[in-house]
Amino acid sequence: MTSSASVADSIGTVARGTGLLLASLVSLTVGTSFVSTATALEVEIRPTNPQLGDTLTILVQAESADEPPPVVTMGDRTFPTFPLGNNQFQALLPTTPLDDPGRVVVQVTGETVVRNLAVWVRDRSFPTQSLWISGSDDLGTDYEFDRVDEFKALVSDQQLWSGSFLRPTSGPVTTIYGIRRYYNGVFAEDYYHRGVDYAAGTGTPVVAPAAGIVALVDYEANGFEIHGNTVGLDHGQGVASIFLHLSRIDVQEGDRVEAGQVIGAVGSTGISTGPHLHWGLYVHGQAVDPVPWRDGVE
Protein backbone atom coordinates (compact mmCIF):
# COMPACT_ATOMS: atom_id res chain seq x y z
CA MET A 1 0.00 0.00 0.00
CA THR A 2 2.66 2.48 -1.04
CA SER A 3 1.70 3.94 -4.42
CA SER A 4 -0.62 6.83 -5.19
CA ALA A 5 -3.73 7.08 -7.34
CA SER A 6 -4.67 8.54 -10.70
CA VAL A 7 -7.38 11.08 -10.06
CA ALA A 8 -9.37 13.73 -11.88
CA ASP A 9 -9.62 16.88 -9.82
CA SER A 10 -11.98 19.83 -10.00
CA ILE A 11 -13.00 22.48 -7.53
CA GLY A 12 -16.70 21.77 -7.92
CA THR A 13 -18.46 19.04 -9.88
CA VAL A 14 -16.66 16.22 -11.62
CA ALA A 15 -18.43 15.35 -14.88
CA ARG A 16 -18.00 12.88 -17.72
CA GLY A 17 -18.93 13.44 -21.34
CA THR A 18 -18.69 10.89 -24.15
CA GLY A 19 -16.27 8.65 -22.29
CA LEU A 20 -13.82 11.52 -21.69
CA LEU A 21 -13.54 14.01 -18.89
CA LEU A 22 -14.83 17.41 -19.95
CA ALA A 23 -12.23 20.02 -20.77
CA SER A 24 -13.05 21.92 -17.59
CA LEU A 25 -11.35 19.20 -15.55
CA VAL A 26 -7.66 18.81 -15.04
CA SER A 27 -6.51 15.20 -15.34
CA LEU A 28 -3.67 14.47 -12.94
CA THR A 29 -1.55 11.37 -12.48
CA VAL A 30 0.08 11.38 -9.09
CA GLY A 31 3.48 9.86 -8.45
CA THR A 32 5.09 10.05 -5.06
CA SER A 33 4.23 13.72 -4.60
CA PHE A 34 0.93 15.29 -3.65
CA VAL A 35 -1.76 16.51 -6.05
CA SER A 36 -1.25 20.27 -5.93
CA THR A 37 -3.30 23.18 -7.21
CA ALA A 38 -3.29 26.87 -6.38
CA THR A 39 -5.25 26.02 -3.24
CA ALA A 40 -3.82 25.37 0.20
CA LEU A 41 -5.08 21.77 0.23
CA GLU A 42 -2.92 19.02 -1.27
CA VAL A 43 -4.24 15.47 -1.58
CA GLU A 44 -2.69 12.10 -2.39
CA ILE A 45 -4.73 8.92 -2.95
CA ARG A 46 -3.32 5.39 -2.79
CA PRO A 47 -3.17 2.90 -4.46
CA THR A 48 -2.82 3.98 -8.07
CA ASN A 49 -5.10 1.40 -9.63
CA PRO A 50 -7.54 0.24 -6.93
CA GLN A 51 -9.90 -2.68 -7.28
CA LEU A 52 -12.88 -3.82 -5.23
CA GLY A 53 -11.73 -4.95 -1.80
CA ASP A 54 -8.87 -2.46 -1.61
CA THR A 55 -8.50 0.17 1.10
CA LEU A 56 -8.09 3.71 -0.21
CA THR A 57 -5.61 5.82 1.74
CA ILE A 58 -6.31 9.55 1.53
CA LEU A 59 -3.38 11.77 2.56
CA VAL A 60 -4.13 15.46 2.99
CA GLN A 61 -1.49 18.15 3.41
CA ALA A 62 -2.80 21.31 5.03
CA GLU A 63 -0.91 24.58 4.68
CA SER A 64 -1.23 25.70 8.28
CA ALA A 65 -1.23 24.00 11.66
CA ASP A 66 -4.08 26.31 12.61
CA GLU A 67 -6.46 24.70 10.11
CA PRO A 68 -9.04 22.24 11.49
CA PRO A 69 -8.79 18.59 10.37
CA PRO A 70 -10.14 18.10 6.84
CA VAL A 71 -13.39 16.21 6.28
CA VAL A 72 -13.34 13.27 3.84
CA THR A 73 -16.47 11.79 2.30
CA MET A 74 -17.12 9.04 -0.24
CA GLY A 75 -20.68 8.45 -1.34
CA ASP A 76 -22.93 9.00 1.66
CA ARG A 77 -20.26 8.20 4.26
CA THR A 78 -17.97 10.59 6.10
CA PHE A 79 -14.66 9.19 7.33
CA PRO A 80 -12.47 10.52 10.14
CA THR A 81 -9.06 11.98 9.41
CA PHE A 82 -6.14 11.52 11.77
CA PRO A 83 -3.04 13.72 12.15
CA LEU A 84 0.29 12.29 10.99
CA GLY A 85 2.39 15.32 11.93
CA ASN A 86 3.70 18.24 9.85
CA ASN A 87 0.14 19.38 9.05
CA GLN A 88 -0.59 16.06 7.31
CA PHE A 89 -3.76 13.99 7.83
CA GLN A 90 -4.81 10.47 6.83
CA ALA A 91 -8.19 8.86 6.16
CA LEU A 92 -8.84 5.21 5.26
CA LEU A 93 -11.76 4.34 2.97
CA PRO A 94 -12.91 0.72 2.53
CA THR A 95 -14.21 -0.84 -0.67
CA THR A 96 -15.88 -4.27 -0.84
CA PRO A 97 -17.23 -6.77 -3.39
CA LEU A 98 -20.71 -5.37 -2.73
CA ASP A 99 -19.76 -1.94 -4.10
CA ASP A 100 -20.31 -0.90 -7.70
CA PRO A 101 -17.06 -0.70 -9.68
CA GLY A 102 -16.19 2.37 -11.70
CA ARG A 103 -15.89 6.04 -10.89
CA VAL A 104 -16.32 7.20 -7.31
CA VAL A 105 -15.84 10.72 -6.02
CA VAL A 106 -13.85 11.38 -2.88
CA GLN A 107 -14.57 14.81 -1.45
CA VAL A 108 -12.00 16.50 0.79
CA THR A 109 -13.21 19.60 2.60
CA GLY A 110 -10.70 21.94 4.19
CA GLU A 111 -11.24 25.19 6.03
CA THR A 112 -11.86 27.20 2.85
CA VAL A 113 -11.46 24.72 -0.03
CA VAL A 114 -13.42 21.71 -1.29
CA ARG A 115 -11.60 19.19 -3.51
CA ASN A 116 -13.57 16.61 -5.55
CA LEU A 117 -11.34 13.74 -6.66
CA ALA A 118 -12.62 11.10 -9.09
CA VAL A 119 -11.14 7.65 -8.53
CA TRP A 120 -11.73 4.65 -10.78
CA VAL A 121 -12.17 1.42 -8.81
CA ARG A 122 -11.69 -1.62 -11.02
CA ASP A 123 -14.10 -4.54 -11.02
CA ARG A 124 -12.79 -7.86 -9.81
CA SER A 125 -13.84 -11.40 -10.60
CA PHE A 126 -14.66 -13.18 -7.35
CA PRO A 127 -15.13 -16.98 -7.40
CA THR A 128 -18.46 -18.47 -6.34
CA GLN A 129 -19.43 -21.43 -4.17
CA SER A 130 -22.69 -23.37 -4.00
CA LEU A 131 -23.90 -24.57 -0.61
CA TRP A 132 -26.99 -26.55 0.30
CA ILE A 133 -28.28 -26.11 3.84
CA SER A 134 -31.36 -27.38 5.65
CA GLY A 135 -32.36 -23.98 6.95
CA SER A 136 -34.03 -25.66 9.89
CA ASP A 137 -31.91 -23.95 12.52
CA ASP A 138 -31.14 -20.31 13.18
CA LEU A 139 -27.37 -20.08 13.45
CA GLY A 140 -25.69 -17.64 15.78
CA THR A 141 -26.82 -15.76 18.87
CA ASP A 142 -27.77 -12.13 19.41
CA TYR A 143 -25.02 -11.94 22.02
CA GLU A 144 -22.46 -13.08 19.45
CA PHE A 145 -23.60 -10.70 16.72
CA ASP A 146 -23.86 -7.73 19.09
CA ARG A 147 -20.35 -8.21 20.47
CA VAL A 148 -18.81 -8.56 17.02
CA ASP A 149 -20.70 -5.55 15.65
CA GLU A 150 -19.56 -3.45 18.61
CA PHE A 151 -15.97 -4.54 18.01
CA LYS A 152 -16.06 -3.71 14.29
CA ALA A 153 -17.36 -0.21 15.05
CA LEU A 154 -14.30 0.74 17.13
CA VAL A 155 -12.39 3.83 16.00
CA SER A 156 -9.46 4.77 18.25
CA ASP A 157 -7.19 7.71 17.55
CA GLN A 158 -3.72 6.16 17.59
CA GLN A 159 -2.27 4.19 14.67
CA LEU A 160 -0.67 1.16 16.29
CA TRP A 161 0.44 -0.73 13.19
CA SER A 162 3.61 0.05 11.26
CA GLY A 163 4.52 -1.25 7.82
CA SER A 164 3.18 -4.40 6.17
CA PHE A 165 1.02 -6.85 8.10
CA LEU A 166 2.35 -10.34 8.87
CA ARG A 167 0.83 -13.68 7.94
CA PRO A 168 -1.11 -14.75 11.04
CA THR A 169 -0.41 -18.47 10.78
CA SER A 170 1.27 -21.13 8.67
CA GLY A 171 -0.53 -23.41 6.22
CA PRO A 172 -2.02 -22.89 2.77
CA VAL A 173 -4.82 -20.48 1.94
CA THR A 174 -7.99 -22.51 1.44
CA THR A 175 -10.56 -19.75 0.93
CA ILE A 176 -9.64 -16.34 -0.43
CA TYR A 177 -11.26 -13.03 0.36
CA GLY A 178 -14.41 -12.06 -1.51
CA ILE A 179 -15.82 -15.43 -2.59
CA ARG A 180 -19.57 -15.14 -3.34
CA ARG A 181 -22.09 -17.87 -2.58
CA TYR A 182 -25.25 -19.53 -3.76
CA TYR A 183 -27.40 -21.00 -0.98
CA ASN A 184 -29.77 -23.72 -2.16
CA GLY A 185 -29.34 -22.44 -5.71
CA VAL A 186 -30.12 -18.79 -4.88
CA PHE A 187 -27.38 -16.15 -5.15
CA ALA A 188 -26.73 -14.44 -1.81
CA GLU A 189 -26.63 -10.77 -2.83
CA ASP A 190 -25.25 -9.53 0.50
CA TYR A 191 -22.72 -12.29 1.13
CA TYR A 192 -19.01 -12.35 0.46
CA HIS A 193 -16.24 -14.16 2.31
CA ARG A 194 -15.06 -11.52 4.72
CA GLY A 195 -11.49 -12.64 5.17
CA VAL A 196 -8.89 -15.28 4.34
CA ASP A 197 -8.91 -18.89 5.58
CA TYR A 198 -5.69 -20.78 6.33
CA ALA A 199 -5.66 -24.56 6.78
CA ALA A 200 -3.45 -25.67 9.67
CA GLY A 201 -3.46 -28.31 12.34
CA THR A 202 -5.16 -27.80 15.67
CA GLY A 203 -2.77 -26.04 18.02
CA THR A 204 -0.77 -24.26 15.30
CA PRO A 205 0.20 -20.83 16.69
CA VAL A 206 -1.73 -17.75 15.57
CA VAL A 207 0.18 -14.46 15.75
CA ALA A 208 -0.86 -10.83 15.62
CA PRO A 209 -0.32 -9.55 12.06
CA ALA A 210 0.33 -6.08 13.46
CA ALA A 211 0.44 -4.30 16.79
CA GLY A 212 -2.87 -3.66 18.47
CA ILE A 213 -5.01 -3.72 21.58
CA VAL A 214 -7.02 -6.86 22.33
CA ALA A 215 -10.56 -5.50 22.17
CA LEU A 216 -12.54 -8.75 21.91
CA VAL A 217 -12.11 -12.17 23.50
CA ASP A 218 -15.01 -14.59 23.61
CA TYR A 219 -15.75 -18.29 23.46
CA GLU A 220 -18.03 -20.83 21.86
CA ALA A 221 -19.17 -21.82 25.35
CA ASN A 222 -20.44 -18.25 25.91
CA GLY A 223 -22.64 -18.28 22.81
CA PHE A 224 -20.21 -17.69 19.93
CA GLU A 225 -21.91 -20.46 17.97
CA ILE A 226 -20.69 -19.35 14.52
CA HIS A 227 -17.38 -17.63 15.22
CA GLY A 228 -16.19 -20.08 17.84
CA ASN A 229 -13.41 -18.98 20.15
CA THR A 230 -12.56 -15.49 18.90
CA VAL A 231 -9.94 -12.76 19.33
CA GLY A 232 -10.32 -9.22 17.97
CA LEU A 233 -7.44 -6.73 17.71
CA ASP A 234 -7.90 -2.97 17.42
CA HIS A 235 -5.01 -1.66 15.30
CA GLY A 236 -6.26 1.92 15.61
CA GLN A 237 -7.96 4.49 13.38
CA GLY A 238 -10.82 2.16 12.43
CA VAL A 239 -8.61 -0.81 11.43
CA ALA A 240 -9.31 -4.12 13.20
CA SER A 241 -8.47 -7.82 12.81
CA ILE A 242 -10.65 -10.72 13.93
CA PHE A 243 -9.54 -14.35 14.32
CA LEU A 244 -12.11 -17.15 14.42
CA HIS A 245 -12.42 -20.86 15.30
CA LEU A 246 -9.47 -20.84 17.72
CA SER A 247 -8.69 -23.85 19.89
CA ARG A 248 -6.84 -21.76 22.46
CA ILE A 249 -6.68 -18.07 23.39
CA ASP A 250 -3.53 -16.67 25.00
CA VAL A 251 -4.54 -13.02 25.53
CA GLN A 252 -7.07 -11.02 27.50
CA GLU A 253 -9.11 -7.96 26.61
CA GLY A 254 -7.05 -4.83 27.18
CA ASP A 255 -3.69 -6.46 26.41
CA ARG A 256 -1.30 -4.62 24.09
CA VAL A 257 0.24 -7.04 21.58
CA GLU A 258 3.04 -6.55 19.08
CA ALA A 259 3.34 -7.84 15.51
CA GLY A 260 4.31 -11.51 15.58
CA GLN A 261 3.17 -12.12 19.16
CA VAL A 262 1.25 -15.38 19.70
CA ILE A 263 -2.38 -14.67 20.56
CA GLY A 264 -3.85 -18.17 20.31
CA ALA A 265 -3.94 -21.38 18.31
CA VAL A 266 -5.75 -22.75 15.26
CA GLY A 267 -8.83 -24.81 15.97
CA SER A 268 -12.24 -25.83 14.68
CA THR A 269 -14.64 -24.21 17.15
CA GLY A 270 -17.90 -22.65 16.02
CA ILE A 271 -19.23 -23.43 12.54
CA SER A 272 -16.22 -25.10 10.96
CA THR A 273 -15.61 -28.10 8.73
CA GLY A 274 -12.10 -28.68 10.07
CA PRO A 275 -9.13 -27.00 11.72
CA HIS A 276 -8.39 -23.64 10.11
CA LEU A 277 -7.96 -19.96 10.88
CA HIS A 278 -10.27 -17.30 9.53
CA TRP A 279 -8.63 -13.85 9.54
CA GLY A 280 -10.89 -10.92 8.79
CA LEU A 281 -9.58 -7.36 8.38
CA TYR A 282 -12.04 -4.51 8.88
CA VAL A 283 -11.77 -0.82 8.02
CA HIS A 284 -14.53 1.30 9.54
CA GLY A 285 -16.73 -1.75 9.89
CA GLN A 286 -16.28 -3.08 6.34
CA ALA A 287 -14.34 -6.26 5.59
CA VAL A 288 -11.53 -5.44 3.16
CA ASP A 289 -9.00 -7.67 1.44
CA PRO A 290 -6.11 -8.34 3.87
CA VAL A 291 -3.68 -9.23 1.07
CA PRO A 292 -2.82 -5.63 0.02
CA TRP A 293 -2.03 -4.91 3.65
CA ARG A 294 0.59 -7.66 3.34
CA ASP A 295 2.01 -6.01 0.19
CA GLY A 296 0.07 -8.44 -1.98
CA VAL A 297 1.45 -11.64 -0.42
CA GLU A 298 -1.10 -14.34 0.45
Report pLDDT for 99.
97
The ranges assigned to domains in the chain are 6-121, 128-294
The tally of CA atoms less than 13 A away on the side-chain side of residue 50 is: 34
What's the pLDDT tens digit per position in 176-222? Answer: 999 999 988 999 999 999 999 999 999 999 999 999 999 999 999 99
User: What mean pLDDT comes out for the span 148-174?
Assistant: 96
pTM over 0.95: no
Classify domain 128-294 by CATH number.
2.70.70.10
CATH architecture of the domain covering 6-121: Sandwich (2.60)
What's the pLDDT tens digit per position in 107-148? Answer: 999 988 999 999 999 999 999 999 887 655 567 999 999 999
Mean pLDDT of the chain: 87
